[in-house]
Amino acid sequence: MRAAFAIAGKDLRQRLRDRSAIVVGILAPVVIAGLMSFAFRGIESFNFTLGVVDLDHGPVATSLVRALQSPQLKSVITLRRLSSASVARDEIRRGVLPAGLVIPAGFSASIAGSRPESVVTLSSDQLPIAGDVTRSAVQSFVSQLNADRLSVYTALAAGAPMSDLSRLASVAGKLRIPLQAVERPVGAQELKVISYYAPGMAIFFLLFTVSYAARSFFVDKSEGMIERMRAAPVRPAEILVGKALSAFVFGALSLGVIGVVTSVAFGASWGAPLPAVVLGFVLVLSVVALTALVIGLSRTQRQAEGIASIVVFGLALLGGNFFFISSAPGVMKHLALLTPNGWALRGFTDLSTLGGGLGTIAEPVFAILVFTAVVGAAAVALAPRAVRS
């Protein structure tokens, strides 16, 4: 193993003297993760201004406006009073407002009749989520209103005198629908954008280790370095172990530095230190196995660079390094589970939101180790041919 350590030391010295290695391994992922965090910061604190046109000014309309100003919606919706529906449509069309709500005249009085007036929601194509939120909030209020009307008419149908209509309406107005869907977070805390993209970008640039290590092998081979090593004599396995060891050390160093910097500078959460280190360790092992496989499959430096590029960008796209995999189609979610980076991102996300220790990452670690074992076995089978050819 002394020869393997010597080869690894030589490769690491060359890598650290190369400024591009520092840029790709540390600076670039930190900068890009920070930029993506700033770009998507609005997702964490979504708020929009809703234009409200109240042409009714009755008690039901007042209750609807009050519901839109409830504490649950205060952080999401900011109300702005408008004079007419045409003004609301014009401001939405010009992009001044993302959504509007029109309460027609006679809305409150029509509630007691058989054909109540309908409120109108307006939305812009530029921010459709604002319209969705508005419709959802109004629909919740209307559902409660319909439940109140149904209870009053049920009482009248059961024999209550019409003279009790006002009293029944007052009692019904105090009732609430007993069964409701309430949103509750599953995790211990909300997932920050930076807590997803920090490991996402770190893993993406970690994958470039495959390209660098494979290129380094073929450069040494073209310069006769591999032949001189074998004449030393150094066994083919020691040569590959040395190359793999240098890739492992640099990958682990890159991942560790990015984790510390993004945690301190941007407030990214990677989870508890021990499980995060274990998850990063097995991930780097999978990258080393991929590097060995690329070397085994290639005959020239150009082939190695081409295969490495396909591997790097293919895994990054399938694994969800550039987008939230939870919002992807079902097929993409399943494909992500075929990649080590997809499992690693799932593990880091669970650590950030659910917390916990090694048990939280047991499944991702096992999946990555299985991937590493399969790829590593194929690389070992190809190793002798790679060194001797």
- pLDDT tens-digit map of 26-51: 677 777 767 766 655 555 556 788 88
Report how far residue 364's alpha carbon sits from residue 275's, in angstroms, rounded to the nearest whole number: 11
CA distances 175 to 61, 146, 148, 250, Å, are 18, 12, 7, 64
Q: Which listed CATH number (3.40.50.720, 1.10.1660.10, 3.40.190.10, 3.40.50.300) goes with 47-173?
A: 3.40.190.10
- Under a CB-based contact definition with an 8 Å cutoff, are residues 242 and 4 in contact? yes
**Domain ranges (residues) in the chain:** 2-41+191-388, 47-173
Higher-confidence residue: 329 or 226? 329
Give residue 46's pLDDT: 67
Higher-confidence residue: 212 or 289? 289
Report how far residue 6's alpha carbon sits from residue 228's, in angstroms, rounded to the nearest whole number: 14
Percentage of the chain modeled with pLDDT above 70: 74
- Under a CB-based contact definition with an 8 Å cutoff, are residues 125 and 76 in contact? no
Report how far residue 63's alpha carbon sits from residue 173's, in angstroms, rounded to the nearest whole number: 11
Q: What is the largest CA-CA distance in the chain?
A: 108
Higher-confidence residue: 219 or 280? 280
Report how far residue 135's alpha carbon sits from residue 366's, in angstroms, rounded to the nearest whole number: 44
Give residue 250's pLDDT: 80
CA distances 359 to 283, 354, 373, Å, are 17, 11, 21
pLDDT in tens, 115-141: 777 888 888 877 788 888 888 888 887
Give residue 367's pLDDT: 93
Give residue 114's pLDDT: 64
For the cut 70, the answer to whether the pLDDT of residue 152 exceeds it is no
Instruction: Indicate the pLDDT class of residue 261, thresholds 50, 70 and 90.
Output: confident
CB count in 10 Å sphere of residue 74: 12
CB count in 10 Å sphere of residue 9: 14
Instruction: Indicate the pLDDT class of residue 71, thresholds 50, 70 and 90.
Output: confident
Q: Which residues contact 49 (CB under 8 A, 6 or more apart)?
A: 77, 78, 79, 80, 97, 98
For the cut 60, the answer to whether the pLDDT of residue 200 exceeds it is yes
